[in-house]
A and B are shown apart, each in its own frame.
Chain A
């Protein structure tokens, strides 16, 4: 059995920062990721980030991913396992089961675990919602921004939150026509800066609209058109308001839910918090769950966005290292700094939902 001081599960923004912070304090880290490269979903974010300089503001997500991955790979205290999927956590003896390259099974016994597994895309119920051509927004990003293949010619974007707006813009960068962005809510959920970018390019953003049904081309079996309709202020559809859109792609961007399987296996106390995307682990200010030595960071700790994921990761990494006695003399300062940054990111009206969610979670 392989031993390590801190195992970090997931090499996205949270996991990368957690690894770097723990290594900086002096701990030995094993970073495990199921992909062939680090960076998580950063590798497909072509937009520039907000926040302050410390969270890499005004740098594109893809470049932040490259910067952090390079730092991790050259750090002698961090061992990186790629193509490695953590498929089980055995709470009795604190052992992780890891499938490496879908061939070998490796057992790892860490002293501390930081779970930074991210989130998966939610789905939307409507008639024929399983047709080929109906994809998650993240899937569309992966296909076009990572692999350079466009998803189709004409897209209906469902969801006017930040992801829906950003992916719409990215679709247009790739030369794809976005017919409309719809959202069942009466308001645009995302930042105005993202909404303005697509609106300026002539894409209608239709609030209080949802999908009624999707229909396939009889020959190909894949999506050919969508029917949308308006909803009233009680979210009830209004018959007679139907509109038909000829689209070969419906992109679903209705939120994410935490990928928390390992936390359930570890026996962490979980709570359903809709503001944070689903079931999340109860935790303290140091990102430690109710199972001592098991930490969380990033979307799995509550769906938010990449900047806060990075700081949560740093916080988890610092605290996990400190709990093993590692401190290069800067722990207190770095910890305080991270907590302040999180508070500032979550301040104001934009962070209200997150604050409500975290109030139910953090002890």
Chain B
């Protein structure tokens, strides 16, 4: 959910863009992290771990911990907490470590 009114902060957002998450159409703001847009759309589970297939979300949100790796435009292991959202991006839940084509 977006913060609409805040006592101290105001948010400068880019233009609204469309992207897909596992084939579902979603909206976000250009230039914000993919993870922020997904979170606003209610998506918490970003990937499944390699061995035990456990659900993973983000943890640090600043590109340190690699808990948020997803497949973006076919490229696996993208840190979606820092990768910026662009119009038409294809974002997919990553299972395991991902294959580099």
Contact A151 B59 (CB under 8 A): no
Inside 8 A of B33's CB, which chain A residues have their CB? 147
- Whether B9 lies near A132 (C-beta < 8 A) is no
Q: Kindly report which residue of chain B lies nearest to residue A123, judged by CB atoms.
A: B59
Within B42-98, which residues are at the interface with A (CB < 8 Å)?
44-46, 49, 54-65, 81, 84
Given contacts A149-B2, A149-B36, contact A139 B55 (CB under 8 A): no
> What is the bound-complex CA distance between A132 and B68, given in angstroms?
10
Q: Is the CB of A139 within 8 A of B62?
A: yes
Interface 0/1 of B19-47, CB less than 8 Å to A: 00000000000001101100110001110
Q: Which of these binds chain B: A15-23, A200-208, A216-224, A311-319? A: A216-224
**How far is it, in angstroms, between the C-alpha of A145 and the C-alpha of B61 when the chains are bound?**
12
Do A148 and B2 form a contact, CB below 8 Å, given A62-B9, A134-B59?
yes
Across the interface, A120 reaches (CB within 8 A) one of B1, B49, B58, B60, namely B60
Chain A nearest CB from B97 CB (Å) reads: 16
- B7 x A173 contact (CB < 8 A): yes
Closest Cβ neighbor of A102 among chain B residues: B83
A77 within 8 A of B: no
- The reply to whether the CB of A106 lies closer than 8 angstroms to some CB of chain B is no
Contacts of B9 in A (CB 8 A): 46, 62, 145, 148
Q: Which one of A46, A60, A143 lies within 8 Å of B61 (CB-CB)? A: A143
- Specify which chain B residues have a CB less than 8 angstroms from the CB of A290 in the assembled complex: none
On whether the beta carbons of B58 and A139 are closer than 8 Å, the reply is yes
Give the complex CA separation of A148 and B2 in angstroms: 6
Interface of chain B, helix or strand or loop or mixed? loop
Contact: A148 with B44, CB < 8 Å?
no
Which residue of the partner chain, among A123, A131, A151, contacts B39 with CB atoms under 8 Å?
A151
Give the residue name and chain of the A residue nearest to B38 (CB).
Answer: A149
Task: Look across to chain A and name the residue whose beta carbon is closest to the beta carbon of B39.
Answer: A149
A131 touches B55 (CB 8 A): yes
Judge if B8 is at the interface, Cβ distance under 8 Å.
yes
- Distance A139 CA – B62 CA, assembled complex (angstroms): 7
B2, B44, B46 — most chain A CB neighbours (10 Å): B44
| Residue contact B55 to A135, C-beta cutoff 8 Å | no
Question: How far, in Å, is A136 (CB) from chain B's closest CB?
Answer: 5
Contact indicator B62/A142 (Cβ below 8 Å): yes
- Contact of B100 with A by CB under 8 A: no
Select from chain B the residue with minimum beta-carbon distance to A151. B39
* B39 x A130 contact (CB < 8 A): no
Verify if B101 is at the interface (C-beta below 8 Å from A): no
CA distance in complex: A277, B6 (Å): 33
Contact assessment for A138 and B61 in the assembled complex, using a CB-CB cutoff below 8 Å = yes
**Chain B nearest CB, measured from A87 CB (Å):** 12
Task: Check if A144 is an interface residue, CB within 8 A of chain B.
Answer: yes
**B57 partner, pick from A120, A135, A145, beta carbons under 8 A:** A135
Instruction: Flag A113-140 by CB within 8 Å of B: 1 or 0 each.
Output: 0000000110100000011111110111
Check B61 against A132 for contact (C-beta < 8 Å). no
- Whether A150 is near chain B, meaning CB under 8 Å from some CB there, is yes
Q: Which residue of B lies closest to A34 (CB)?
A: B63
Residues of B within 8 A of A216 (CB): 55
Using a CB–CB cutoff of 8 Å, the interface residues on chain B facing chain A are 1-3, 6-9, 11, 13, 32-33, 35-36, 39-40, 44-46, 49, 54-65, 81, 84
* Interface of A toward B, CB cutoff 8 Å: 34, 36, 46, 60, 62, 120-121, 123, 130-136, 138-140, 142-145, 147-151, 173-175, 216, 220-223, 259
23 contacts across the A-B interface (CB closer than 8 A) = A34-B63, A62-B8, A121-B59, A130-B49, A130-B56, A132-B57, A133-B44, A134-B57, A135-B59, A138-B62, A139-B81, A142-B81, A144-B3, A145-B9, A147-B11, A147-B32, A149-B1, A149-B39, A150-B3, A173-B6, A175-B3, A216-B55, A220-B44
